[in-house]
Amino acid sequence: MAISLKPVDVAVIGLGAAGGVAVLPLARAGLKIAGIEAGGWMDARSFRPDEIHNNVRGLVTSVPKTKREVPTVRDSPSSVARRVGNHPMMNAIGGTSIHYWAQSWRLKPWDFNTRSEAQKRYGANSIPAGSTLEDWPVTYDELEPYYDRVEYEVGVSGKAGNLQGKIDPAGNIFEGPRQREYPMPPLRGTEFTERMAEAARGLGWHPFRPPAAINTQTYQGRPGCAYHGFCGAGGCHIGAKNSTAVTTIPAAVKTKNLAIFDHAQVIRIVSGADGRVTGVSYLKDGKEYFQPARVVLLGSYTYENSRLLLLSKSKAYPNGLTNNHGQVGRHYFAHWGTQGGGAVVALFPFDINVFYGLPAQGTTVDDFGDDNYDHTGLGFIGGTSMHVHTELHAIEAAAMNTFGRAPGWGAKWKAFVRENAARWVSAYLQTSTFPYETTFLDLDPETRDPLGDPVCRVTTGPRENERRSVEYAQRKMEEWFRAAGAIEVMKAPPTGPALSTHAYGGTRMGDNRETNVVDRWGFSHEAPNLGIVGASVMGTSGARNPTLTVQALAWRTAEHLVKSWKSISA
């Protein structure tokens, strides 16, 4: 028998990048919140400058619950899904924001209206075949105040490229207008990243230092970045990376309105005959608890959001919670680009010293992002942001591609890596990716977790639009590397992502309840007191990292809940 707890106003499932932000406006408004998180607090002293610990064995990114619930993947609806290693779906207070790269982008205005803008510019047939792309129910202008809010609450460093319409080439000239400058200046460049910037300018492009949720000076009492080179897949030892574990969550705890239940694994969201959710069941220390709540906010990772809804069946929702229109798990997609196999690797004839730094430290070119250039005749819509960055560890450096210049082992290999391990770099490409009819999440019919629940099954597939788009960007990237002096450039064929840390959809946001799970505010079309936060609500990816958009949407959903408390909780 489950132990029933004292009711709360709001139960938030998952205190990661999304839920960890949503709790703050709720707590400030005086709502009583239960934050239910499968992981625990991570101690900053355990974040080590150790490639084996962080990157090889994944001891920061991958914790036991995550390893037991890794989704299965297949590349078409007719093939068998398989487990493919681990996935850094994080369980911890702060979630993936503890170990992410902290690149904190706003989407472009175009990303919100892609369908209508593409049809207007390139004709009705420009939408990729089989795509379920819709315009968002929210515009960039509507989300701008929330981007601004989160940039200041969490702390984002960067340089504005469009300040209320005034263009500044020191920032990204292609960004949408912002009401004010970033709260901190951007991360510093290095001799190499500045060389890349110079080469881009020589090509007539517009390079800039990109935004990051990383302090570049003391902010909210925490120090600026130490550039030590163990940021990706590791936590920050001095608290300069603005994960929700050091920003919004502690601020919410301070109000005394947020009670955190850690190491608590949510197994079901419970709903009544009237279709409203009544609370959350979870396991902690082998016991089952029921946390009654007037409102539930679901904020786990994209794969888990769909899975938990599909597992949470009831009389009102026989096919899974808020799934009476069959939309849970649909409109799934994940970023093509480097994460989808489309690597571009360059070798220089001199040391570039990218060992230290961090993945957010670098030079970005957005001239080929989104719809920033004319796509007429190219055969695809969307674009790619191209980023060249620092942070290269020793094992990774030595495991380099030999560009056909040396064998893979022996004395000649040794001489090659001795000369070249300090002379190569890999670009980071992120390509606009769209939802398709045949790309979705559901429950795996075979693979189960130790509790006996099916894991999430991911169905992906080859995408002609995205493949062309990545290949176009790879050619531009090669041009850029060569202009900076590269003597070899290797381009890997893009295959598309399997499991991804940039996974979107499954609970898409839209006005049409026949094709979307949540409304324009992030609340279920079917269960009125269920809100959903995370990239699972996003209908397009843009050509850049999702987290800031996820956080701006989470803040907006939470603020809407506060403003509409009576109608939503009644």
Partner 1 sequence: MQPEDKEALQISRRTVIASATLVPVAALTAAAQAPKTSLSASERQTLEAFVDRLVPKDELGPGAVECGAANYIDLALADALAAEKGTFVEGLAAVDAFARKQYDTPFTQLTPEKKDAVLTEIDEGRATGFANARAFFARVRRLTLEGMFSDPYYGGNKNFAGWDLIRYPGARLAVAPEDQKMSTPPKPLHQSAYGSNFNHGH
Distance CA(424)–CA(22), nearest Å, equals 41
Selected range binding partner 1 among 182-190, 202-210, 495-503, 529-537, rule: CB under 8 A = 182-190
Helix or strand run (H / E) with residue 65:
helix 64-68
**Minimum CB distance to partner 1, residue 492 (Å):** 17
Which one of 109, 155, 229, 435 is in contact with partner 1 (CB under 8 A)? 229
Is residue 256 involved in binding partner 1 (CB under 8 A)?
no
| Strand duo 258-261 + 166-167: pairing | unpaired
Q: Do residues 200 and 480 make contact, with C-beta atoms less than 8 angstroms apart?
A: yes
Is residue 228 involved in binding partner 1 (CB under 8 A)?
yes
Is residue 352 involved in binding partner 1 (CB under 8 A)?
yes
When the beta carbons of 356 and 373 are compared against partner 1, the nearer one is 356
Residues 383-402 that bind partner 1 (CB under 8 A): 390, 394-395, 397-399
- Residues that bind partner 1 (rule: CB under 8 A) add up to a total of 53
Amino acid at 69: E
- SS3 annotation, 155-187: HCECCCCEECCEECCCCCCCCCCECCCCCECCC
Angle ∠(136,317,68) on CA atoms, nearest 5: 80
Angle ∠(361,367,370) on CA atoms, nearest 5: 100
Is residue 227 involved in binding partner 1 (CB under 8 A)?
yes
Task: Give the sheet arrangement for strand 362-365, strand by strand.
Answer: 336-337, 428-431, 384-389, 362-365
Is residue 356 involved in binding partner 1 (CB under 8 A)?
yes
Report how far apart, in Å, the C-alpha atoms of 17 and of each of 150, 350, 554 are: 11, 39, 9
Which one of 4, 46, 79, 438 is in contact with partner 1 (CB under 8 A)? 46
Which one of 94, 161, 275, 357 is in contact with partner 1 (CB under 8 A)? 357
**Minimum CB distance to partner 1, residue 354 (Å):** 8
Is residue 230 involved in binding partner 1 (CB under 8 A)?
yes
When the beta carbons of 129 and 399 are compared against partner 1, the nearer one is 399
Q: Do residues 521 and 560 make contact, with C-beta atoms less than 8 angstroms apart?
A: yes
Is residue 166 involved in binding partner 1 (CB under 8 A)?
no
Site mask, partner 1, residues 491-530, x = CB under 8 A?
----------------------------------------
**Minimum CB distance to partner 1, residue 384 (Å):** 26
CA dihedral 453, 454, 456, 462 (to 10 degrees): 180
SS3 293: strand
| Strand duo 344-347 + 162-163: pairing | unpaired
Which string of b and e fits 200-214 if b means at least 16 CB within 10 Å?
Answer: beebebbbbbbbbbb
Selected range binding partner 1 among 210-218, 254-262, 287-295, 503-511, rule: CB under 8 A = 210-218
Which one of 6, 404, 411, 567 is in contact with partner 1 (CB under 8 A)? 411
Give the DSSP letter of residue 379.
Answer: S
Site mask, partner 1, residues 418-437, x = CB under 8 A?
x--xx---------------
**Tokens 């991570």 map to which residue?**
42
Q: Rounded to 5 degrees, what are φ and ψ at 126? A: -75, -15
Is residue 413 involved in binding partner 1 (CB under 8 A)?
yes
**Minimum CB distance to partner 1, residue 270 (Å):** 38
Selected range binding partner 1 among 189-197, 274-282, 471-479, 538-546, rule: CB under 8 A = 189-197
SS3 260: strand
Q: Tokens representing 118? A: 């593409």
Is residue 170 involved in binding partner 1 (CB under 8 A)?
no
Which one of 164, 409, 514, 566 is in contact with partner 1 (CB under 8 A)? 409
Residues in Cβ contact with 74 at an 8 Å cutoff, skipping those fewer than 6 apart? 80, 81, 82, 457, 458, 459, 460
| Strand duo 424-426 + 344-347: pairing | antiparallel
Is residue 57 involved in binding partner 1 (CB under 8 A)?
yes
Torsional sign, CA 100, 175, 182, 301 = negative
Is residue 44 involved in binding partner 1 (CB under 8 A)?
no
Which one of 56, 80, 129, 170 is in contact with partner 1 (CB under 8 A)? 56
Which one of 110, 192, 434, 480 is in contact with partner 1 (CB under 8 A)? 192
Is residue 123 involved in binding partner 1 (CB under 8 A)?
no
When the beta carbons of 88 and 461 are compared against partner 1, the nearer one is 88
When the beta carbons of 39 and 357 are compared against partner 1, the nearer one is 357
Selected range binding partner 1 among 229-237, 276-284, 307-315, 327-335, rule: CB under 8 A = 229-237
When the beta carbons of 227 and 373 are compared against partner 1, the nearer one is 227
Q: Tokens representing 241? A: 């990376």
Selected range binding partner 1 among 64-72, 328-336, 403-411, 460-468, rule: CB under 8 A = 403-411
DSSP track, 385-413: EEEEE----HHHHHT---TTSS-SSSHHH
Which one of 415, 438, 445, 563 is in contact with partner 1 (CB under 8 A)? 415
Which residues of the chain form contacts with partner 1 (CB under 8 A)? 45-46, 48-52, 56-57, 185, 188, 190-192, 195, 215-218, 223-224, 226-230, 237-238, 240, 350-353, 355-357, 390, 394-395, 397-399, 408-411, 413-415, 417-418, 421-422
